[in-house]
Structure 1
Amino acid sequence: MKNIYSVPRGEVVSYASAAEYEKNIPTMTESVNSIMTKINSTENLIGDNPLSVMHDNHIHHSKFMANIFKLNDYELLNNTLKWVLNSYVSRGFKSKYFQIELDTWISVIRDTLEPNYSSGIIKIYQWMKSALENIERENKNLINEIPYPFDSDWENVKNKFFNLLIKGNSAEALSFSKSIVHDRESLENFYSKVITYSMYEVGLLWEKGLISVAQEHLATSIVMRIISYLYMNFILIESSKGKAIITASANEFHEIGARIISDQLELDGWNVLYLGANIPNEELIKIIKEENPDFIGISVAMAFNINKVKELVAQIRSDSTLNYMKILVGGHAFTFGGDSKEKIGADKISFSIDETINTARLWWDDKSESKFK
């Protein structure tokens, strides 16, 4: 019996079709919004959520699918579908909303794009429809817990810090952080074992609908304030390695991961230029040429921004004067799996802080050794 839930194999959407889909996103999204708004008025598909949440979902969906079609990465699509269904159902969306939404997208795509562009795209949408029931069943049986890979003492510290974040207690969270961090080693541990896993759990609570967007934003704000304090008071390491630029991709506004990586690299002796989030590609390339870093690290939190990184990497690779520079990418977007460095064009896709630091060290050691050959 054919497994209709398996990831599409052998399906390739041409780049021309992907580009046509992307070009027509504004028109198609407007049509989908109009149709779904009318249906929702009689069937209440989105619970108590305002229409803006549904409309935002449609624009995020279209941008994400444009990425999928350009990359032809259906493992990423498969894993993201699970997260999306779980997140929106937890917030009051009815399960049938997704079937109706996909039917609407198929109809709008068929009406908007020429058949030679739409046929391959519609096949993927039809696969998504066939997978929804199985994904919903799997999500119900899924125990959503984030395994903690460190010892119980650090887990207790993480739990205390996490509870302060959820309570929104900024002063106590800062005071607690100061009681834990005394030197370079404790700072490194606090970043990798406490802050990182606390924010994973904040994200999981948001996904389950157990905390609001405001609570998630407050937790993020508290963490950024704490990181800034710790940076000013503890990171006074003399540079002993090369130069790195750390940033988040264009259209990306989540920067905690990039900031933690930046600070950890400085602790490791790198001269780091931390640029924050949402730097236009042209501006970033200009800075790269001015600063001549040994490598650039690019963080991507949202899966629909992956193609932005691919475009940036392509721009860098097309400039022969930048051939010397290594490119590392990472972030939450890649935890959904599927992407390889060949598809993105980077030298490395990193899945953890330790992997990033170790990769940077290897690159520096290779460069140092080559100077003496």
Structure 2
Amino acid sequence: MLGTIQAGMRPVRPPPNPIASRCDELSRAVVAIQFERWPALYARYGEAGRDKCAEDLRFHVLYLAEAVAANSPALFREYVGWVKVLFANIGIPVEELGESLEILRDVIAARVDGATAERVEACVAAALDGLPGMAVDVPRFVRDDAPHGDLAKTYLDRLLAGDRRGATALVLDRVEGGMAVADVYLDVFQPTLREVGRLWQTGAISVAHEHFATAATQAVMAQLYPRIFATERCHRSMVATCVSGELHEVGIRMVADFFEMSGWDTYYLGANAPARAIVQAVRERNAHILAVSATISAHVGTVTDLIAAVRAELGDRPLRILVGGYPFNLVPDLWKAVGADACAATAAEAVTVAAALADTLPGAA
């Protein structure tokens, strides 16, 4: 984790998350009660199944831990909504999910301090209250009536068929015909990758399909770079990165490309860059903005760790930090809790917000 400060950096986020730090213990305690309460589970899954259940419960614990740390029941409620869709498509009754959440609440609340227990109960209550009305499917992201919806659908079909060359040629031909690169990003790549995620969540495709689609799209993006980097410079710079453990790095890469299209000098670090490397990049590039992405709420605490470490190491060196990703879209004020200067919901908005932040730096014109 980026929260594990590199040698020579000052530790800045003291107490470990009281729930996440005991994740294995708590998940196994929940599973033990489940197997005791529902003997049919052992008959169905056996001892190996017990371990698999504990592995799955770790995600419940981690997401709940971040929602509690952020004092945001909405974060956990949305996670449970995602799990309901997943479970519905693999045949796990929603009643089992509800009872599991109740056991999770009771186990954790009994093992933490009173203030933390109150937050646990509030987060689980929000999820349980909303559970009956949560959908068991997710609307499609690729639609015929959307801008360039026909192109997005054909692009998706070719990716799912494993036709990377055909998908690439399709996009490059449209761009050669005058389609703006920004429109390709917003109207083709973004909805397609979201649709691929939806198809995996509902069990329609495998994780291999998802990885292939992401890798193929990144390859197409690389072929569009000559057009992106031809933009007139605005003499501002930014560093872009994902937090440690984040597997969905294509979003922040798109954000960095939007900055390039707006004339910024960008330095894209991708995922798993150590905090020290990020600080070094900010200094070397004389960056005005650090953009940090997290697409799942289980990584919100890691964003907090990273921002605290960067600010501690840079001291008074002027820098504005912008965050983005699904958790920050879900909870509008979450950016304040992690110590950022602002957040943005889209790549285009990120450029606008970053320009305004850069104007507040000392010496800004």
Q: TM-score range by the shorter chain?
A: 0.7 to 0.9
Superposition deviation, residue 17 in structure 1? 9.6
**Paired position in structure 2 for 1:169:** 163
Contact 2:85 2:138 (C-alpha < 8 Å) held by counterparts: no
Q: Which residue in the other structure is 1:20 paired with? A: 18
TM-score (norm 1): 0.80
Contact 1:184–1:267 (CA<8 Å) still a contact in 2? no
Residue 7 of structure 2: aligned partner: none
Spell out, residue by residue over 1:34-90, the C-alpha distance to the aligned partner (whole angstroms, 9 max, x if none). 55567777248999x977764443222222222111110112222232122122322
Larger relative helix fraction? 1
SS in 1 for 2:135: helix
1:137 aligns to 2:136 (yes or no): no
Q: Is residue 271 of structure 2 the alignment partner of residue 268 of structure 1?
A: no
- Residue of structure 2 equivalent to 1:252: 246
Per mean C-alpha deviation after superposition, the further-off stretch among 249-258 and 57-66 is: 57-66
The amino acid that maps onto 1:354 is: A
The answer to whether the Cα contact below 8 Å between 2:235 and 2:264 also exists between their aligned partners in 1 is yes
Deviations 1:157-194 (A, max 9, x none): 12221222222221111111111123996212111211
Give the one of 102, 121, 124 matched to 1:123.
121
Task: Give, in whole Å, the separation in 2 of the partners of 1:315 and 1:52.
Answer: 35
User: For 2:14 and 2:316, how far apart are their aligned partners in 1?
Assistant: 29
Q: Which deviates the most, 165-174 or 94-103?
A: 94-103
> C-alpha distance in 1, partners of 2:142/2:331?
17
Aligned partners of 2:117, 2:14: CA distance in 1, in Å? 12
Correspondence 1:104 to 2:100: no
- Is it true that 1:85 corresponds to 2:81 in the alignment? no
In 1, Cα distance between the equivalents of 2:244 and 2:303? Answer: 8
Superposition pairs of residues 70-81 of structure 1, within 5 angstroms? 70-81=69-80
Q: How many residues align?
A: 351
330, 336, 339: which one aligns with 2:324: 330
Equivalent residues of 1:76, 1:339 under 8 A apart: no
Q: Which region of structure 1 is more displaced relative to structure 2, 304-313 or 332-341?
A: 332-341
> What is the aligned partner in structure 1 of residue 3 from structure 2?
none
**Contact conserved, 1:246 with 1:297, CA < 8 A, in 2?**
yes
- Counterpart of 1:86, as a letter, is V
Gap change, CA 1:40 and 1:286, over 3 Å in 2: farther
5+ unaligned residues in a row in structure 2: which ranges?
1-12
Structural RMSD (CA):
3.5
3-state secondary structure, aligned to 2:18? helix
| 1:245–1:274 Cα contact (<8 Å) kept | yes
TM-score by length of 2: 0.82
1:12 corresponding residue in structure 2: none
Shift of 1:138: 3.5
Q: CA deviation at 1:110?
A: 5.4
Equivalent in 316, 332, 335 of residue 310 of structure 2: 316
Judge which range, 208-217 or 102-111, deviates more.
Answer: 102-111
Look up the equivalent residue of 1:268 and give its one-letter code.
Answer: S
Alignment of 1:1-373 (within 5 A): 19-36=17-34, 42-43=40-41, 54-109=53-108, 113=111, 116=114, 119-124=117-122, 127=125, 130-131=128-129, 134-140=130-136, 144-146=139-141, 154-182=148-176, 186-231=180-225, 235-237=229-231, 239-319=233-313, 321-364=315-358, 371=364
TM-superposed deviation, 1:128: 5.0
Distance, in Å, in 1 between the alignment partners of 2:43 and 2:309 is 42
8 Å Cα contact 2:152/2:188 also seen in 1 = yes
Whether contact under 8 Å (1:74, 1:338) holds in the other structure is no
SS in 1 for 2:204: coil
Aligned-pair CA distance for 1:135: 2.1
